[in-house]
Amino acid sequence: MLTAAPSRYYPMNVRPWLGSVILDSAALNIVQLMSQRHLPLYDYAFGEDPDYWKKISPYELLEKSGPPVFAVCSRKRIDNPCNYHRQFNSKALEMGRTSSLMRLWITHGEINSQLGKDSDYTEAVESFIYSLL
């Protein structure tokens, strides 16, 4: 939520940052996530109130201005986080934000464990970070 709506947090002494890397999150469009079949852990995390889902959903809160985003998602996951990443990325681009999406045919765990190893994936994340410096 922080990268979607940074202006909400500046009054809390959050300083602007250069960019965000989002790794394989299914919780980008919480309204849609909770409105369909989902893992029980999301019930615990987000409750049962659709109004609350809208108030905390990064997709719903996305602001026109904010840091660039580089998102990575697993095409192997059955809960299809790439769909949520694609929606978030498309909306960000429509608003004029810098946002890109890398869809990988590796598992959620591999997205975490493979980052930093010699690969096109690591090179893409590093290129994004270096582009901000």
CATH number of the domain enclosing 54: 3.40.50.1820
Assigned domain for 28 exists: yes
Distance, in Å, from the CA atom of 17 to the CA atom of 48, rounded to the nearest integer, reads 33
> Which residue segment(s) compose the domain that 26 sits in?
6-132
Percent above pLDDT 90 for the chain = 90
Q: Is the pLDDT of residue 20 over 90?
A: yes
Longest distance between any two alpha carbons in the chain, whole Å: 44
Assigned domain for 80 exists: yes
Assigned domain for 1 exists: no
Q: Is the pLDDT of residue 79 over 90?
A: no
Assigned domain for 53 exists: yes
The total number of structural domains that make up the chain: 1
Q: Is the pLDDT of residue 48 over 90?
A: yes
Distance, in Å, from the CA atom of 100 to the CA atom of 83, rounded to the nearest integer, reads 14
pTM, entire model: 0.91
Confidence tier at 80 by pLDDT (50, 70, 90) = confident
Residue 112 · residue 23 · CB < 8 Å: yes
Assigned domain for 63 exists: yes
pLDDT at 26: 85
Q: Is the pLDDT of residue 43 over 90?
A: yes
Assigned domain for 71 exists: yes
Assigned domain for 112 exists: yes
Assigned domain for 100 exists: yes
